Chain A
C-alpha cells in the first residue's frame, strides 16, 4: 500500500485534521507520502516531516496553490495519483472541494468523510446525517478518501524525520482566481479540535446575548459553536455552525445552550465525550443525547454558570 496524504495547513504548521488523517492512513497501512502545497509553505512542510509515520514530504511552493483553487490543485494531485493506492485528505473545505474533482478526473469513485477503516478497501462512513453508518467497499485501483477528523485520534507529532522533496508546480488551467476572503478572527482554539466547545442556538435571542457563550468558552478555554438557526439569525458567523452541513466536532465537553437538538445539529456533535444541554423545554430532543441536562431559562442559568465557574 502506498498512501498520499494531502496536508491541510496554514503555511506554518499542519492542522489537526491532517494528524487525524494520518491515523486513518496508519489503519490502512503502508508507506505514507505527504503533499504540502501552498505559497510560502516551506515551514509547514518541515512541520509535516516531523509527523510520525510520514516517510516523505512533497513540498510544492507556488502562488498557484496559495488558496488551493480546485482546478489547479486537483490537476496537481491527479499527476501524482498513479503512484499511490490511496489518496487521503481531511474532510475540511480543501479536501471536500478538491478530492471529488480528482476522483472524477481519474474515473474512480470517492469515499467522503470516512469515520472508520475496516481494511484497505473497506471503510465506514455516516449517511443520513449520521443516523446510519454505511460500510462500503471500493473496487477501484486508487481510493480517493476524505477523513472525518473528529472520528480519529491524532498521530504523534514531533519526532519524525522524513525528507522534504521539492515538487515543481503544474500548469495554471486559468479557469479560476482568488478575489478575497473574510475570515473570522479568534484567539480561541479551533472549533474542530478544541477540548471544550460551547454552542449557542436560537434561544440566545440576539447577537448581544451570544457574548455570554463567548464568555463561557473563555472561562473553559474552549471554542464557540452555533446552531444553524443562530448563524442564520446573525448571532454567529457561518464558520461556527456545527452539524450535518457545518463542522463535525467531538470534544471532551460540548455544552449546548438554547439549542433544540434537531438531527442535523446532533449529526455534528453527538460523538462528543460529555454533552451538557441547557434548555427551558424539558421535551427538547437535545436532552436525549445529553449526559447532563439542565432544564432552565438560559438567561438565569448562564450567568449562574459563569459565577460558579469563576469560584
Chain B
C-alpha cells in the first residue's frame, strides 16, 4: 500500500509572530521554519503503518519554495521513502494546493493521502477535505485513530462532543489531529540515511494546474491588545473583585 503524506513548511510554532509594518503579512525573514506540527503526526502515522507492514511506500510532498526540501528531508529522516517538491515562490491557497495534490495522486496512485488537519500559519483547515472532494474520495478528518483494512478503513475522529468512528472506502484522504500519535525525533543515522533518499523536484508551472489565488489579502493587522490586569493578593480579594468590580459572578 502506498501513502502520500503532505508536509508544509511553516513558521515554527514557538515563534512569536510579528505583523509587518506595511500590513501585508507577518514577518517571515530570519524566522525559524519547521514542518507543520500536524504534518509531523501524519508522517509518524505513515511510518508506523509501514513498520506494521500495512504500508510499503511513503512519499512526502511539499509545495512551496526551494527551502521546502528541508521539510521533506525531515520527513525522510523520520522514515518516508522519497520526496516530491512542487516548487513555487508564489502564494498557493488551499484550493490550489488540493489541485496540485490531485495531480500528484493521479500520477502516483496512492491508497491513502495523509495530511494535517490544519496548517498553523493560515489556520484554514481545508486542504484535505478539498482534495477528497476533487478526487471524489471519502474523507476522514480530525483523526485520533487509524485502522486500515481491506478496501476500507475504520477511522476515529475528534468531534465537538467527543469521538466518532466512521468507516470509509479506500482510497481515501485522512487529516490527522493532535492525539493520533507522538512524532518521533529522527536519529542521527536516519538523518544521514535521509540524505541519500531521492527528492524529485517539479516546477509548479509544469503541472498545468490552476493555482491562481482566489482570495486577496487586503491587510494583516495586529489583534486588539488586552488591557493589563492586576495581581490580587488572595482568594477573598479575587472573589470580591469578581462580584463587585467585574460583576461577573
Instruction: Name A residues whose Cβ lies closer than 8 Å to a Cβ of B.
Output: 67, 69-71, 74, 92-94, 96-105, 107-113, 122, 125-140, 173-184, 196, 220, 228, 231-232, 237-239, 244-245, 247, 252-253, 263-264, 270, 273-276, 282, 287-296, 301, 304-305, 308-309
The answer to whether the Cβ of B191 comes within 8 Å of any Cβ in the partner chain is no
The answer to whether the Cβ of B209 comes within 8 Å of any Cβ in the partner chain is no
Contact B169 A176 (CB under 8 A): yes
For the side of the interface on B, what is the size category? 35 or more
Q: Which residues of B contact A175 (CB under 8 A)?
A: 137-138, 168-169
Contact A127 B122 (CB under 8 A): yes
Further pairs besides A128-B11, A137-B217, A289-B229: 12, Cβ < 8 Å = A67-B166, A70-B141, A97-B141, A100-B94, A101-B139, A173-B136, A174-B169, A177-B166, A196-B249, A239-B162, A245-B118, A292-B241
The answer to whether the Cβ of B109 comes within 8 Å of any Cβ in the partner chain is no
Q: Which residues of B contact A69 (CB under 8 A)?
A: 166
Q: Which residues of B contact A274 (CB under 8 A)?
A: 242, 246, 248
Distance between Cα atoms of A70 and B136 in the complex (Å): 11
**Interface of chain A: mostly helix, strand, loop or mixed:** mixed
Give 6 nearest A-B pairs by CB, closest first: A109-B214, A100-B129, A104-B133, A104-B130, A175-B138, A100-B126
Contact B239 A308 (CB under 8 A): yes
Contact B242 A301 (CB under 8 A): no
The answer to whether the Cβ of B98 comes within 8 Å of any Cβ in the partner chain is yes
Interface residues of B in 173-207 (CB under 8 A from A): 177-179
Contact A238 B163 (CB under 8 A): yes
The answer to whether the Cβ of B46 comes within 8 Å of any Cβ in the partner chain is no
Mark the stretch among B51-59, B65-73, B220-228 that contacts chain A.
B220-228
Complex: chain B residue closest to A146, CB-CB: B125
Render B126-156 as a binary contact track against A, CB cut-off 8 A, 1 for contact.
1111111110111111101000000000100
Which residue in A97, A100, A133, A183 is a CB contact (below 8 Å) of B220?
A133
**Interface of chain B: mostly helix, strand, loop or mixed:** mixed
| From B98, B125, B157, B222, residue with most partner A Cβ within 10 Å | B125
| From B11, B158, B249, residue with most partner A Cβ within 10 Å | B249
Given contacts A132-B26, A180-B165, A244-B123, contact A139 B95 (CB under 8 A): no
Instruction: Name B residues whose Cβ lies closer than 8 Å to a Cβ of A.
Output: 11, 13, 16-17, 19, 26, 93-95, 98, 117-118, 120-134, 136-142, 144, 154, 157-169, 177-179, 213-223, 226-232, 234-236, 238-239, 241-242, 246, 248-249
Complex: chain B residue closest to A221, CB-CB: B249
Distance between Cα atoms of A57 and B128 in the complex (Å): 30
Contact B215 A136 (CB under 8 A): yes
Contact A292 B230 (CB under 8 A): yes
Distance between Cα atoms of A277 and B141 in the complex (Å): 33
Which residue in A71, A104, A196 is a CB contact (below 8 Å) of B95?
A104
